[in-house]
Chain A
Amino acid sequence: MGNTKLKESRPSKETSKETIGYPKFKEIDGSHPLKVSVPEAVVEYQVRTRHGGQVAFFNFELARELGLIPDNHPHELTKELKEEILHTFSIVIINEYDQMNNFNFPKDEIRQKTYMATRYLQLQHPCKKGTTSGDGRSIWNGQITNKGKSYDVSSCGTGATKLSPACNINKKFYQTGDPTVSYGCGYSEKDEGLSSLFFSEVLAKNGLETERVLAIIEFPKGLAINVRVHENLLRPSHMFNHLKQNNLPTLKRVVDYYIERQVKNKVWKNIPSDPKSHYDYFLMKVVETFAQMSANFEDQYIFCWLDWDGDNILMDGGIIDYGSVRQFGLYHHEYRYDDVQRWSTSIKEQKQKARYIVQTFAQIVDYIKNEKKKSIDDFKNHHSLQTFDKRFFDYKNQNILMKMGFNLKYSEALLSHHRKDIEDFRSDFTYFEMAKSGKGPQKVPDGINWNAIFCMRDILRELPQVYLSRGINGIVNEAEFIDIIKSSYATKADLKSSLRRNLKIRSFQKSYLKLINLAAKKCKETPEKVLLDVSMRSSVINKYDRVTGDSISTIVEKVMAKKPKLSAEEISLILKEFTEYQNLNPDKERRPSNFEAEKEQSHILKGMLQIVREFRDGI
């Protein structure tokens, strides 16, 4: 099985190839410290060259950050660079099926070092302890260090491992590429890579932690190897499996490995010197990370199917595996993804799942410290959960002020003195955000939804402008309010006036203006000045056309269908323009303007923006 028949290969012509132009690529050779620190947490595979690949995309910006190419490298895939990318990433594992069938592969195509698939817990596996689950079609290419920071590099679509659900459900090993199984065949597709690429780059641009796509190697029939990078690709599920198996030594070593890595990468700077306190610090960091992440996901309408297994999310709250990730245009809190055997959680249930993950970490820390495993139920009232609840609402308060358009100075003034007023506004805001259509639940292509009907971004963008125009006391009447806030999902019946809704409209505005006035008073400025600043920032934060999951899928379809095919450089340029456009940070550097700067975007980008507009309210 797996790593029982591994042989050391001699350096071959292929593997010893000199890399004069791009020496940093040489570091990506399967070596990874996790293999050494926790060998039982991984399954090692020999890999060989996979022929027939072409570089469909290369992330120049990310490659510069990693030091793979020099800062002044042109935005061009030179022949040498192309070869280097293919040599490094166009690989496939020699799996159990290959070994059992004694397949002979040319020796000079087999790489010198082994590559690892990692073990982690996955709810879709029959074994709920994680003894057989993990990377089913991915391997970790290695680790790369640049400017004192290390990054994990992994590839999806590099062959069928023994950790895939198909392998364990059907109790057999699969040949890589076996057409009788889809996910279990070990391949991935180009559209998956492109979806992850567009989505992750937009989210990264907007300050969210996420895996990023470094390269896409495409093969015939729409297949691809999608290479992804993040500072640390460990997930909670990489620890939860050992907890479920009561395997304290391994669990401790994975946690220690993670702590050490965060310290080395200077992500954690003030870790206590007493080694025993490390675990409390670790738990505190987990609490903070998951409270912030779940508040951010909820407020930015990011659906990420969190669950008890701690899969689908990274330890640092980063997004991974974009297959089921979505960004909604409205707060579609009833949407559920249909995963054939089960329904996903909904966006509003994510907080509870994140809380449960924290509870599991409290159990882990206690287990490591006392060397005795207690029941998860014993941690129901753990102090870390109380901290989580408090911090979650702290982040919700910060987020609502940010979404309104308050700058840091105003936000800090309000957060330190007027928490109750912020919460009052948040309560009114939530009332409208949660409103659903009278049409009831509806089937959508990949699941079920009960449409939200109000677009909160629109009201936050337009309200300050109307107040500025009418004067600080010139409130908006009920009909006008509904005119601004209604989305394309709202039916006539949904928009019918009611006493309760009218009261809420008045209350919303009263709370909104109260916050404006309080910020002005605290910062000794006029309410009009605060309102103007809020209005300008809000116009960026709540831009009319923000990407949704549906828009990304449609954009990827267009890119895939483009004839002639877009080159890697062209995709890279379009991506750059697109992510710039979707950068909703009001503090980003602006280009000088005389209101007529060239607004000439490429034809394809214009098409993309049109798609974003069309799907702006969707899922």
Chain B
Amino acid sequence: MKLVLYSGGSEDENRFLNLRALELTHVKSPKLALIPSSSFDAEDDFKFFVQEFSEFGVQRFMLFCVDTPYTKTLLQEVLKSDLIFLGGGNTFYFLKHLKKAGMFGHFEKFLKRGGVLCGLSAGAIVLTPHVHTASFPHFDRDENPWDMKNLSAMRLVNFEFFPHYKNSKRYDAELLHHSKKSKLPLYGCGDGGGIIIEDQQISFVGKCYQFYLGQKLNVPHCK
């Protein structure tokens, strides 16, 4: 299984992760598909996505929105791609539509045949067992106006992910508080950082911290 979890940040900050994600495809001319969290301004996201990855010589891109009706033809084409990138945005909205479209099953098959699944921020959180980390801290959380109760997500990893982490007391207070109630380790990554999983191997990029059972630990990273 090949996963890349991005925290967020600028194109420059994510250059290393982008390169690693492409390397994981082991394909000379990979096909990439962007699934944005919402179709609202998705074309803008697509443009920037193409800009970021065409720098590495990639020429084959697709845009696929899950919150508008789509054709079987395009879905099948997306699932045949080498890398699928789940964008950021409102985690609850994204989760709701991924579930409604039955995408989790498709992603499992995609991963089984060797595809690379990447997620940025909300897109990364939905790869974990549930999306509770989108609900805090109170000063920087996603709205859930749909009042979604079932927050279970893809369960592709056995940890929680907290994007855009800032090494500060107010963040730590909320993350430590959460970790006391959770049975899973929670990884907080700053922008430009992230987690790469290739089969059984996990590696960290940028400054990452583990919050587990009320403790905060530094995580050694490869870059």
A329 to chain B minimum Cβ distance, whole angstroms, is 13
Of the candidates B11, B43, B47, B50, which one forms a contact with A594 in the assembled complex, judged by CB atoms under 8 Å apart? B11
Q: Does B104 contact A (CB under 8 A)?
A: no
On chain A, the residues within 8 Å of B48 by CB distance are 590, 592-595
For residues 562 through 619 of chain A, which have their beta carbon under 8 Å from a beta carbon of chain B?
581, 590-601, 603, 609, 613
Q: Closest 6 interchain pairs by CB?
A: A596-B88, A595-B87, A480-B73, A593-B48, A540-B43, A599-B89
Q: Does B172 contact A (CB under 8 A)?
A: no
Produce 1/0 per residue, A356-373, CB < 8 A to B.
000000000000000000
For residues 529 through 559 of chain A, which have their beta carbon under 8 Å from a beta carbon of chain B?
529, 532, 535-536, 539-540, 543-545
Interface hub of A528, A539, A593, A595 (most chain B Cβ within 10 A)? A595
For residues 476 through 532 of chain A, which have their beta carbon under 8 Å from a beta carbon of chain B?
476, 480, 483-484, 526, 528-529, 532
Interface hub of A468, A469, A526, A613 (most chain B Cβ within 10 A)? A469
A493 to chain B minimum Cβ distance, whole angstroms, is 20
Supposing A590-B44, A590-B48 touch, asked if A596 and B74 sit within 8 A by C-beta, the answer is: no
Identity of the chain A residue whose Cβ is nearest the Cβ of B76 in the assembled complex: A480
For residues 22 through 71 of chain B, which have their beta carbon under 8 Å from a beta carbon of chain A?
31, 34, 36-50, 54, 59-63, 65, 68, 71
Given contacts A462-B74, A532-B60, A581-B41, list 10 more A-B pairs with CB under 8 A: A484-B71, A484-B73, A539-B63, A544-B65, A590-B47, A594-B10, A596-B37, A596-B89, A599-B37, A603-B145
Q: Are B88 and A595 in contact (CB under 8 A)?
A: yes
Q: Does A470 contact B (CB under 8 A)?
A: yes
Supposing A468-B61, A543-B43 touch, asked if A600 and B90 sit within 8 A by C-beta, the answer is: yes
Supposing A532-B61, A595-B48, A595-B88 touch, asked if A601 and B40 sit within 8 A by C-beta, the answer is: yes
Q: Does A466 contact B (CB under 8 A)?
A: yes
A480 to B75, CA, bound (A): 11
A526 to B59, CA, bound (A): 10
- Give the number of residue pairs across the A-B interface with Cβ within 8 Å: 115
Q: Does B120 contact A (CB under 8 A)?
A: yes
On chain A, the residues within 8 Å of B15 by CB distance are none
Q: Does B81 contact A (CB under 8 A)?
A: yes
A255 to chain B minimum Cβ distance, whole angstroms, is 44
Q: Are A599 and B38 in contact (CB under 8 A)?
A: yes
A sample of 8 cross-chain residue pairs with beta-carbon separation below 8 angstroms, ordered by A number, consists of: A470-B77, A483-B72, A539-B42, A593-B48, A595-B88, A596-B37, A600-B90, A603-B145
Q: Are B71 and A483 in contact (CB under 8 A)?
A: yes
Produce 1/0 per residue, A435-466, CB < 8 A to B.
00000000000000000000000100010011
Q: Which B residues form the contact surface with A (CB < 8 A)?
A: 8-11, 14, 31, 34, 36-50, 54, 59-63, 65, 68, 71-74, 77, 80-81, 85, 87-90, 93, 120-123, 143, 145
On chain A, the residues within 8 Å of B39 by CB distance are 544-545
A590 to B50, CA, bound (A): 14
B4 to chain A minimum Cβ distance, whole angstroms, is 13
Identity of the chain B residue whose Cβ is nearest the Cβ of A465 in the assembled complex: B62
Q: Are A532 and B50 in contact (CB under 8 A)?
A: yes
A545 to B39, CA, bound (A): 9
A574 to B72, CA, bound (A): 34
On chain B, the residues within 8 Å of A536 by CB distance are 43, 46-47, 50, 61
On chain A, the residues within 8 Å of B61 by CB distance are 465, 468, 532, 535-536
A590 to B73, CA, bound (A): 29
Of the candidates A476, A528, A595, which one forms a contact with B59 in the assembled complex, judged by CB atoms under 8 Å apart? A528
On chain A, the residues within 8 Å of B71 by CB distance are 458, 462, 480, 483-484
Identity of the chain B residue whose Cβ is nearest the Cβ of A588 in the assembled complex: B44
On chain A, the residues within 8 Å of B49 by CB distance are 595
For residues 236 through 277 of chain A, which have their beta carbon under 8 Å from a beta carbon of chain B?
none
Interface hub of A465, A539, A543, A596 (most chain B Cβ within 10 A)? A596
A596 to B143, CA, bound (A): 14
Q: Are B45 and A593 in contact (CB under 8 A)?
A: yes
Q: Are B74 and A484 in contact (CB under 8 A)?
A: yes
On chain B, the residues within 8 Å of A465 by CB distance are 61-63, 74, 77
A56 to chain B minimum Cβ distance, whole angstroms, is 27
A275 to B87, CA, bound (A): 62
Q: Are A532 and B59 in contact (CB under 8 A)?
A: yes
Supposing A545-B68, A595-B49 touch, asked if A581 and B40 sit within 8 A by C-beta, the answer is: yes
Q: Are B80 and A599 in contact (CB under 8 A)?
A: no
Interface hub of A526, A594, A598 (most chain B Cβ within 10 A)? A594
Supposing A465-B63, A532-B50 touch, asked if A591 and B44 sit within 8 A by C-beta, the answer is: yes
Supposing A532-B61, A596-B37 touch, asked if A466 and B44 sit within 8 A by C-beta, the answer is: no
A328 to B185, CA, bound (A): 53
On chain A, the residues within 8 Å of B73 by CB distance are 462, 466, 476, 480, 483-484
On chain A, the residues within 8 Å of B11 by CB distance are 594
Supposing A539-B43, A593-B44, A600-B143 touch, asked if A468 and B87 sit within 8 A by C-beta, the answer is: no
A540 to B89, CA, bound (A): 20
A534 to B77, CA, bound (A): 18
A545 to B43, CA, bound (A): 12
Of the candidates B14, B43, B50, B90, which one forms a contact with A599 in the assembled complex, judged by CB atoms under 8 Å apart? B90
On chain B, the residues within 8 Å of A480 by CB distance are 71, 73
On chain B, the residues within 8 Å of A526 by CB distance are 59
Q: Are A469 and B81 in contact (CB under 8 A)?
A: yes
A462 to B77, CA, bound (A): 11
Supposing A476-B73, A528-B59, A593-B45 touch, asked if A599 and B40 sit within 8 A by C-beta, the answer is: yes
Identity of the chain B residue whose Cβ is nearest the Cβ of A458 in the assembled complex: B71
Q: Are A594 and B8 in contact (CB under 8 A)?
A: yes
Identity of the chain B residue whose Cβ is nearest the Cβ of A479 in the assembled complex: B73
On chain A, the residues within 8 Å of B54 by CB distance are 532
Supposing A528-B59, A544-B68, A595-B45 touch, asked if A466 and B36 sit within 8 A by C-beta, the answer is: no
A539 to B45, CA, bound (A): 11
B37 to chain A minimum Cβ distance, whole angstroms, is 7
Interface hub of B8, B48, B81, B93 (most chain A Cβ within 10 A)? B48
A458 to B81, CA, bound (A): 21
Identity of the chain A residue whose Cβ is nearest the Cβ of B122 in the assembled complex: A596
A199 to chain B minimum Cβ distance, whole angstroms, is 21
On chain A, the residues within 8 Å of B41 by CB distance are 581, 591, 597, 599
Identity of the chain A residue whose Cβ is nearest the Cβ of B77 in the assembled complex: A469
Of the candidates B31, B65, B81, B120, which one forms a contact with A595 in the assembled complex, judged by CB atoms under 8 Å apart? B120
